[in-house]
Amino acid sequence: MNQSIPKTFVLGLALALAPVSASFAQSGNDVFAEYREMFGDDNPAELAEMQGEEIWRAVRGPKQASLEQCDLGLGPGVMQGAYAQLPRWFEDAGQVMDLEMRLLWCMEKQQGLDVSALRAHPFSEQGQQQTDLEALSAYIAAQSRGATVAVPQEHPAERRAFENGKRFFNYRAGPHDFSCATCHTHDGKRIRLQDMPRLNTVEGAKGSFPTWPAYRLSQGAVRTLEWRMNDCMRQQRLPGLQHGSDVAIGLITYLGVQANGAVMDSPGLKR
């Protein structure tokens, strides 16, 4: 990332785009490409990354600990490449966890923080500051830039998560009969103006998974894959998908395993 561009400039761009954002809904992907060009290598997600780094290093909670000893799967404190290998099985927790679940676990167990509020409201509302989870996700994902996606399928629970995701992908329900497959099994097709990746294929998943978390221009915020799952479920007319639930982890594992071998490039920049 080009460090020579002052952060205030990036912030200025982000703010300048805010009023423009509404029109993205009605404009073509080429217009979006223009904005992407304008940003070049710079992504307003950098602000969230800095916020995340502060939270990662801060000594907090009754146990007066920082998150720096949090084991993201590659050993305590190892961040490089960790995101590219999540979700995975964590023996200490007895669960398959994605990054967000793992962070909550470390906050709770290692810092002694009460995370119930964060768990209930993991995503920032329009115009609010990023939540700790979003900021940390941006920071930690950035430490996997260039790493090869390698979501493990060693433990039976990891394979089970993949299977759950694969099955749920085709699960039609709700008044509109939508499943993920309704919108995400076509090649080169669009919903309104948005290109739809074909997410039940290796190629489609490889194009999508490595770009998350992403800074969304239309919302002026970094969004995570948990958020993406949640919002697609809303469009599917289903009730609220619970953060870190079996279905959420299943779908993210399904996408991640299909994307194995791709190169991480997140936080991405999206419409």
Partner 1 sequence: MKTLRTASLPLLAALFAAGCGHAPKAGETAAAFDAPLDITGSFAPRGQAGMDRLDQDETQRICSEYEGKPVPPELVTTIMEAANAGIRFPADGNYLGDWKNGEKIAKTGTGLQSNDDPNVPNGGNCYACHQMAAEEIAYGTIAPSLGLYGKLRGNSEPILKYTWTRLWNSHAYNACSHMPRFGEKKILDEQQLKDVMAYLFDPQSPVNLEAPGKN
CA–CA gap between residue 30 and residue 16 (Å, rounded): 19
Task: Tell me the window of 11-19, 42-50, 203-211, 239-247 that interacts with partner 1 (CB under 8 A).
Answer: 239-247
**Catalytic one among 70, 106, 183, 232?**
232
Looking at beta carbons only, is 75 or 156 nearer to partner 1?
156
Q: What tokens were used for 113?
A: 């923080």
Indicate which of partner 1, ligand HEC, none lies near residue 271 (CB less than 5 to 8 Å, by partner kind): ligand HEC
Report phi then psi at 186, rounded to 5. Answer: -115, 150
E strands present in 142-218: 190-191, 194-195, 214-216
Q: Report if residue 99 touches ligand HEC, rule: CB under 6 A.
A: no
Looking at beta carbons only, is 148 or 200 nearer to partner 1?
200
Catalytic annotation present for 106: no
Nearest residue to 45 (alpha-carbon basis) of 143, 142, 148: 142
CB 197 within 8 A of CB 249: no
Q: Report if residue 240 touches partner 1, rule: CB under 8 A.
A: yes
Find the angle CA(153)-CA(159)-CA(164) to the nearest 5 degrees. 140
Q: Compute the radius of gyration of the chain from its Cα atoms.
A: 18
Q: Report if residue 190 touches partner 1, rule: CB under 8 A.
A: yes
| CB count in 10 Å sphere of residue 25 | 11
Q: Report if residue 149 touches ligand HEC, rule: CB under 6 A.
A: no
Applying CB under 6 A, among 70, 113, 199, 222 the residue interacting with ligand HEC is 199
Catalog residues that contact ligand HEC under the rule CB under 6 A.
178, 180, 182-184, 191, 194, 197, 199, 208, 211, 228-229, 232-233, 235-236, 251, 255, 270-271
